[in-house]
Amino acid sequence: MRLSRWLAVSVLVSVAFAGRAQGTAHGTGATFPYPLYARWAHDYRARTGLSFNYQSLGSGAGLLQIRRGVVDFGGSEIPLGREELEREGLVQFPMVAGAVVVVANLPGDSGAPLRVSPAVLADLFLGRIARWDDDRLKALNPGRPLPALPVGPIVRADGSGTTWLFTRYLSAKSPDWAKGPGAGAAVKWPRGAAAKGNEGVASYVKEIPGAVGYVEYAYAAGRGFTWLSLEREPGEFVEPGPASVGRALERGLALPGHPLEVDLLDVQAPGAWPLTGLTYILVKADQRDRKKGRALLDFFHWCLVEGAPQARELGYFPLPPEMVSGVEARWTEKIRCRGERLWP
Amino acid sequence: MDGEDPLPRRTAVALNAPPAGSPSGPSRRKDPVEALFRGATRSFAVLVLLLLGAILVTLFVDALPAFRAFGPSFFLSQEWDPVRDLYGALPAAYGTVVSSLIALLLAGPLGIGVAVFLSEMAPPWLSRPVGVAVEMLAAVPSIIYGMWGLFVLAPVLNRSLYAFLEERLGFLPLFAGPSLGIGMLTGGIILAIMILPFVASVSRDVFRLVPPLLKESAYGLGATRWEVISQVMIPYGRTGLVGAIFLGLGRALGETMAATFVIGNSHTLSASLLSPSNTIASTLANEFSEATSALHLSSLVALAFLLFLITTAILSLAKFLLWRMEKALGGPSR
Amino acid sequence: MMPGGLRYLRRKAVNALLLTLSAASALFGLVFLVWILREVILRGARALNWAFFTELPAPPGVAAGGMANALVGTLLLTFLAIAIGVPTGILAGTYLAEYGRRNPLARAVRFVSDILASSPSIVVGVFVYAILVKPLGSFSGLSGSVALAILMIPVVTRTSEEMLRLVPDTLREAALALGAPHWKVIVAVCYRRVLGGLATGVLLAVARVSGETAPLLFTALNNPYWNWNPLRPTGTLNVTLFNYAMSPYDDWRAKAWGAALLITLMVLATTLVARLVVSRTEIGRS
């Protein structure tokens, strides 16, 4: 008797704490944009009371689960082709641009960016450069003391759009890489320990001296890592940061008639950060629930139009207005609920 | 396993005979409520059996595409290449087995040592709290071992033991660097700490079953404490001790959370204990929710099937050994 | 001079050495326990404040926030799992203790139950994904509960059987002699007598699943908001802990230790209470 009464009370108390529990839309996908999506969802909920639950499981998970219809929206850096989108009944659009950076844990280091060439970068992850005081690194960074620590590559254990961006770059720049692991959301890594999500990689790099890993910019900022600057053209080293990513974005989006899924990898412009990419949202073209579908689009609209300050604060790059109109035009064209247009 | 009697004959008779002076009505045998209740309990008991069967069948069916695609070489293949859709079970299986063996090598002797201490050496005022403390180790959830392992143990080991091993013994393939702190050996050590309480408490129960008369006769002949333990108790209970060790092995093989944090999650097969590795359980935890293709998913389920088969076999063996021992000594089953 | 001389001294030395090693093993085990608990308590206590228990998770970089919904989610899923797993386990245990006893079915069930009790929980997660998540089309708290229930069933079955076995047959016979049908004997006499013991089984089952994360990873998924609908993803302490622990954010990691402390306390408390009840039941009834 006493037990059941206690149970009833605790349930009532929990409900009292719950407040207004509104319906929630669920999405899974890339860890790349997770800090931003979480922040947008948090701020939007404060404004409207509507909840959007985004679980960062990796681009692979996002794609798989939106294909299966197990979630309401998916997030990924890997754009699907038109035939595949039609076949799966999905609509895809970019949300925000971000950058992949390579960071290392070098204890006692000055923290200034460490220069590497694309070939050296590939060799670090191929395991061909065993220690940080290797001659090739010394040659690229004359006069800089480098620790005699072993190089510990940290890679992704799960299917990842971040990996896809990174390995595409390596495949383009290093024939050995293209022949070996190749490019993809998950590849066969020759060396290193693997972690789950961008969070995991950042976590491992933070814990292990001598570790080097690739993460989305937002996961690296302010953590005390040593950043690696890439050689874009012989002799020209680009440091990751808002300026270089901004230049890549500017140049990449300036191309006339580009699709919404513009490829921002290795943009040919001075001072442009090579590892830039867009991150996409996927939703079902045919929305079953009108209310939920509309709520989703309202949320994304708010993110695109009013979410720019949060994006910049967290180290992402909001889409310019022309792209936003392009995105919303696509919604109008492609998203339906029982035959009826859902947007505007 | 049971060692009890079936319902005593008189109770069975009482169940079937009509009660003296009972009013006319359905006899006990034809009571519908009785039939219903009996049927219900039997159904749920059968459900337990069906559960095991369902797990085996479901896993096997979902793993078939992988078996068909790769054939028996799946179990020996080192490949794990999602880009080219080629998978093999060897790295994960190897990591599972080796990390569990390391755990056994460490936890086996230690666990038996703890059991010896608790049952033969400690006075009651000490053995009870220490016994409870050791069992508390079992109660700590495995994810906490993982966290503690990653944030506390791995850095300590890396700075001390691994640095030493790499420097002095690094020429051996077994200890070839570079070490990151996380890897096969750390995984094995964490698993050892996790299975220590199981091995210890089952071993302690085994020691309790040794007849005091045997021990006293040995003491009477002038044996030292240790000689009684090593020459009387351990041989007497060896079946049970082996059972305890297999029980611990079964646990270690299936452990997910502790392993995922510290094993390094690398699909590359390496002889070095200091390099990152993988277990079947941590591969599943990392890759299952977003396998990139149907074949990838099927290969993961194939790994799960393999793990389930291995643990079922090991646990069956453990149970059999423990049962054999209890039968011989006439003690209660666990 | 002692008989045997040198040889005897050597035996004594070996004895002293190995007994010391045994004591050292126990000490070793204790050291780790203390070390782990110390870290969990120190780091966890720092994170457990009022906000932890009442607020929803905040995204990384936003101060404050807590795990209130994960706590509720854990309670919800545990209650659901109990609702599914406990009646199954008690009825199965009743069969083993009352009807089956020595027949082949009962022996098979006991054997299988013990195997399931020690099986890898992640495999159970894969199984439930295949039979519930895929067909239902979404992650759900319900499938998480089913996975937990499957882990609970063997524990409850065995404890129920053992508790019911403690009821002496003479009691059953007395009730039967009074004209009660067998099922009534079980329900009105046996169950009532070992109610405490059956509750112990439930407590042990709860302890078993409180620390489980793997089976929830691809069944219940996670959810940073309040969720009362078991057909949708539900947040739990364990999965949230996993996500936070693997993250590089200091505030999230601190909260992860807080969750770790809570889970440890829950498991320890239920285990200790269960032992207390068992010892009282055994002392009172034997």
Task: Give A196-207 pLDDT, tens digit per residue.
Answer: 888 889 888 988
Give the angle subtended at the CA of A22 by the CAs of A16 and A25, to the nearest 5°. 140
Selection from B57, B81, B59 nearest residue B70 by Cα: B81
Share of chain C above pLDDT 70, in %: 94
Dihedral pair phi/psi, residue B18, rounded to 5° = -70, 145
Mean pLDDT over A144-172 rounds to 89
B114 vs C26: CB contact, 8 Å cut-off?
A: yes
Sorted by where each begins, the domain ranges of chain B are 94-293
Note the pLDDT of residue C200.
83
| Nearest C-alpha in C relative to A39 | C59
What is the Cα–Cα distance from C127 to B57, expressed in whole angstroms?
Answer: 10
User: What CATH number does the domain located at C54-285 have?
Assistant: 1.10.3720.10
Mean pLDDT, all residues of chain A: 85
Q: How many other C-beta atoms are found inside a 10 Å radius of the C-beta of residue A75?
A: 30
Q: Do B154 and B135 touch, CB atoms closer than 8 A?
A: no
User: A195 to chain B: which residues are within 8 Å by CB?
Assistant: 265
C-chain CB neighbours of B227 within 8 Å are 11, 15
DSSP summary character for residue A235:
T
pLDDT of A309 reads 92
CA distance A188 to C160: 49
Range list of H helices, chain A: 2-18, 34-48, 59-68, 82-88, 118-126, 135-140, 161-173, 175-179, 197-207, 217-220, 242-254, 290-306, 308-314, 321-334
Q: Which of C31, C96, C110, C114 to mutate to test the interface with B (most CBs of B within 10 A)?
A: C114
- The pLDDT value given to residue A304: 93
Angle, helices B32-70/C68-94, rounded to nearest 10 degrees: 120
Neighbours of chain C (3+ CB pairs under 8 A): A, B
Q: Hey, are the CB atoms on B284 and C213 less than 8 Å from each other? A: no
- DSSP character string of C47-70: H-SHHHHHSPPPPTTS-----HHH
The pLDDT value given to residue C57 = 78
- The token duo for C109 is 């069930």
Handedness of CA A103, A108, A111, A114 (dihedral sign): negative
Say if CB B114 and CB C22 are below 8 A apart: yes
C-alpha to C-alpha distances, B30 to A255, B20, C181, C187, nearest whole angstrom: 87, 17, 10, 19
Q: Which of B155, B264, B290 sits opposite A159 (nearest CB)?
A: B290
Provide the pLDDT for residue A227: 93
Q: Is the pLDDT of residue C224 over 80?
A: no
Residue C98 exposed, middle or buried by CB count within 10 Å (0-12, 13-18, 19+) = buried
Distance of CA A176 to the CA centre of its chain: 26
By mean pLDDT, which of A282-286, A301-305, B81-85 is the weakest? B81-85
β-bridge partners, A226: A104
The confidence score (pLDDT) of residue B285 equals 86
When scoring B15, B44, B121 by the number of chain C Cβ atoms within 10 A, the one with the most, hence best to mutate, is B44
Q: At what angle do helices B184-208 and C6-47 cross, to 10 degrees?
A: 120
B153 reaches A (C-beta below 8 A): no
Range C38-60 average pLDDT: 82
pLDDT, position A212? 94
Is A181 in CB contact (< 8 Å) with chain B? Answer: yes
Domain regions of chain C by residue span: 3-47, 54-285
Contact status of B177 with chain A (Cβ, < 8 Å): yes
C9-29 mean pLDDT: 86
- For residue range A115-133, what is the model confidence (pLDDT) as tens digits? 999 999 999 999 899 899 8
Least confident of A262-266, A322-326, B178-182: B178-182
The mean pLDDT value for A322-335 works out to 89
Does residue B268 sit at the A interface (CB-CB below 8 Å)?
yes
Task: Write out chain A residues lying below 8 Å of C246, CB-based.
Answer: 195-197, 199-200, 203
DSSP secondary structure, A76-136, as one string: ESSPPPHHHHHHHTEEEEEEEEEEEEEEE--TT---PPEEE-HHHHHHHHHT---BTT-HH
Partner A contacted by B300 (CB < 8 A): no
pLDDT at B11: 60
Q: Which of C2, C7, C36, C150 to mutate to probe the B interface, most B CBs <10 Å?
A: C36
Predicted local confidence at residue B134, as pLDDT: 78
Question: Are residues A14 and C58, on separate chains, in Cβ contact within 8 Å?
Answer: no
Q: What is the C-alpha separation between C73 and C93, in angstroms, rounded?
A: 29
Within the 64-93 window of chain B, which residues sit less than 8 Å (CB to CB) from chain C? none
Chain C positions touching B118 (Cβ under 8 A) are 26
Residue C84 has pLDDT above 60, yes or no: yes
Nearest CA in chain A to B84: A187
CB contact under 8 A, B54 and C131: yes
Q: What span, in angstroms and rounded, lies between the C-alpha atoms of A267 and A75?
A: 23
Question: Between the CA atoms of C14, C16, C19 and C24, what dihedral angle is there, to the nearest 10 degrees?
Answer: -110
Which comes out higher in pLDDT, residue C248 or A318? A318
Amino acid present at C4: G
Contacts of C253 (CB under 8 A, 6+ apart): B151, C244, C245, C247
Neighbours of A175 (CB within 10 A): 11
pTM, to two decimals: 0.83
Residues 6+ apart with CB under 8 A from C167: C189, C190, C193, C194, C285
A223 and chain C in contact, CB less than 8 A = yes
**CA separation for the pair C157, C108 (Å, rounded):** 13
If one compares A203 and C247, the residue with the highest pLDDT of the two is: A203
Which of A26, A38, A199 lies at the smallest CB-CB distance from C248? A199
A317: left (phi over 0), alpha (psi -120 to 50) or beta: beta
> What pairs with residue A27 in β-bridges?
A54, A73
Domain boundaries B94-293, corresponding CATH code:
1.10.3720.10
The segments of chain B whose pLDDT lies below 70 read 1-30, 177, 290, 292, 329-334
Q: Which two tokens stand for residue B6?
A: 């079936």
Give CA separation, A28 vs A59, A85, A91, B60, C7, in Å.
8, 18, 16, 28, 72
**What was the pLDDT predicted at A3?**
59
Using a CB-CB cut-off of 8 Å, the residues of chain C touching B141 are: 210-213, 238, 260, 263-264, 267
Nearest to B307 among C116, C123, C125 (CB): C123
Question: Which H or E run includes A278?
Answer: strand A276-284
Buried b (16+ CB within 10 A) or exposed e, C234-258: bbbbbbbbbbbbbbbbebbbebbbb
Q: pLDDT of A13-60, one tens digit each?
A: 544 444 333 467 888 888 888 889 988 998 998 898 888 888 887 777
Asked if A150 and B177 come within 8 Å (Cβ–Cβ), the reply is: yes
% pLDDT > 90, chain A: 30
